[in-house]
Amino acid sequence: MTTVPDTYFTTGLDADPELGAAIRGELERQRDGIELIASENIVSRLVLETQGSVLTNKTVEGLPYARYYGGAEFADAIETLAIERATTLFGCRYANVQPHSGSNANAGVFLGLLRLGDTILSMNVAAGGHISHGHPATLTGRDYRIVSYGVGRTSERIDLDEIRDLALTNRPRMIIAGGSAYPRAIDFAALRDIADEAGAYLLVDMAHFAGLVATGLYPNPFPHADVVTTTTYKSLRGARGGMVLWNDERLSDRINHGIFPGVQGSVLLHGVAGKAACLGEALQPSFRLYNEAVLANATALAESLAETGLRLVAGGTDTGLMLVDLAERGVTGDIASKALEKAGIAVNKNQIPFDPCPPEAPSGLRLSSNAGTARGFDETDFAMVAHWIDTVLRASTDETTLAGVRSEVLALCRAHPIY
Ligand SMILES: *Cc1c(COP(=O)(O)O)cnc(C)c1O
């Protein structure tokens, strides 16, 4: 009896046909469908290979060159590379690249900088904020006192006067900007002034626009924010995970200890390597071209949707992300997203500001040009995507129409293969 099968080190997915079939099925799904979900992207082969590498075997805790386990020579080199690339890319002094996710990055910063029961002023999820900014269903929502701001009813944009009033009345220890469904630019300098007046930290969560910040195509949260958090797998087109960036050395120990041991244990080293890889790619000139295309394609998608009569929340997008209001079509986001999926187009249903409909059957869809741009779609292609969305929304129960769009979607995808 051998303790491991002969094939243990040599056979990959073929060793587990049931699991292998599901993963291959997912590859086909990604290959043959159009991905418009804003929290997704399509990574390079390099990033993919880091994720499936031997780094998954290594356990390290603590920071580079100050580990609790031995054998960390290469781990230290990899994490140091990720940190150096992150600080170079965003022009800041310090980075922690260990957060397993964007939510952990935020939770670790809260734990490091705040005391239990402190007040956080953050954006309402219903207005486009992110759940990890203190939603009542999360640990952070339970540990801190959350006050939330929204958007103006007609502008559908952040209202600085509202934030200032709430900040001066509630005296938060932290103000958070950046959300998961806010399509417009944010005035970080004005938020800095408000934070100073209220005596609060300013945290900017740039998960959805980090790539644009890195390439100078969106307002930079630095030098205004005390701390910046992000995910690395959305606009940064890299490994799943999160990251924290800051400039003030006095915050370093508190932030680092907030992440480990505050909210996490050992490092996902393969994830850190994937972050180093995507940050390396983001430092290349081609990443600027990619982000310019993300914006041009988002504009083409938004304008073409508007031409079909659909209304865009806040009138359009500055970020590559947009919210479409379906109210006038008499269809809700859940039904629309299911019909679009049948046609090979992946989107997510989303509430719009002041949505009269519930989250399960909301009035909107959230779209992004990130992933389509990564596989090489151009503005003409995105105008066509808008046309297909319009067609599906007009005939969401007509199987023949859905099948017709499906075959056109497939042809476009085949023209821009992945992996
Ligand atoms: C996606 C996102 C996160 C959280 O990401 P997870 O990796 O899913 O935890 C945090 N903040 C914002 C603004 C996001 O968009």
* CATH number of the domain to which 295 belongs: 3.90.1150.10
Q: Both 194 and 77 in a single domain?
A: yes
Contact 103, 162 (CB under 8 A): no
The structure tokens 């947009």 sit at 322
Atom of ligand 1 nearest to the CA of 132: 10
| Residues in the chain where the model's pLDDT stays below 50 | none
**Where a domain ends, among 224, 249, 282?**
282
162 assigned to a ligand binding site: no
Which helix (H) or strand (E) segment is 387 a member of? helix 379-394
24 domain-assigned: no
Please indicate, yes or no, whether residues 265 and 312 belong to a single structural domain of this protein.
no
Looking at the fold, whether 243 and 297 belong to one and the same domain comes out as no
Predicted pLDDT of residue 2: 79
Q: Whose CA is nearest to atom 13 of ligand 1?
A: 179
| Substitution site in 231, 234, 263, 321 for ligand 1 pocket (most atoms within 8 Å of beta carbon) | 231
Number of structural domains in the chain: 2
Q: Is 83 annotated as a binding residue?
A: no
Question: Do 152 and 290 sit in the same domain of this protein?
Answer: no
* Residues sharing a CB contact under 8 Å with residue 339, sequence separation 6 or more, in sequence order: 392, 393, 396, 397, 402
**Ligand 1: residue whose CA is nearest its atom 6:** 102
The answer on 372 and 257 residing in a single domain is no
Q: Could you give the CA distance from residue 413 to residue 30 in angstroms, rounded to a whole number?
A: 9
In this structure, are 248 and 220 located in the same domain?
yes
Q: Which residues line ligand 1 (CB under 6 A)?
A: 39, 101-103, 130, 132, 178-180, 205, 207-208, 231, 242
* 129 annotated among ligand-binding-site residues: yes
178 C-alpha to ligand 1 centroid (Å) = 10
Residue 367 has what pLDDT?
A: 98
Q: Which residues of 13-48 are buried (b: 16+ CB within 10 A; e: fewer)?
A: eeeeeeeeeeeeeeeeebeebbbbbbbbbbbbeebe
Token pair, residue 44, equals: 């390079």
- Could you tell me if residue 6 is inside a domain? no
pLDDT in the model for residue 1: 66
Q: What spacing in Å lies between the alpha carbon of 282 and ligand 1's midpoint?
A: 19
274 with 343, same domain: the answer is no
Per the structure, the complete domain to which residue 184 belongs is given by: 51-282
Residue 338 belongs to a domain = yes
- Among residues 257, 282, 307, the one where a domain terminates is 282
Q: Is residue 184 part of a domain?
A: yes
pLDDT at position 69: 87
Boundary residue ending a domain (261, 282, 303): 282
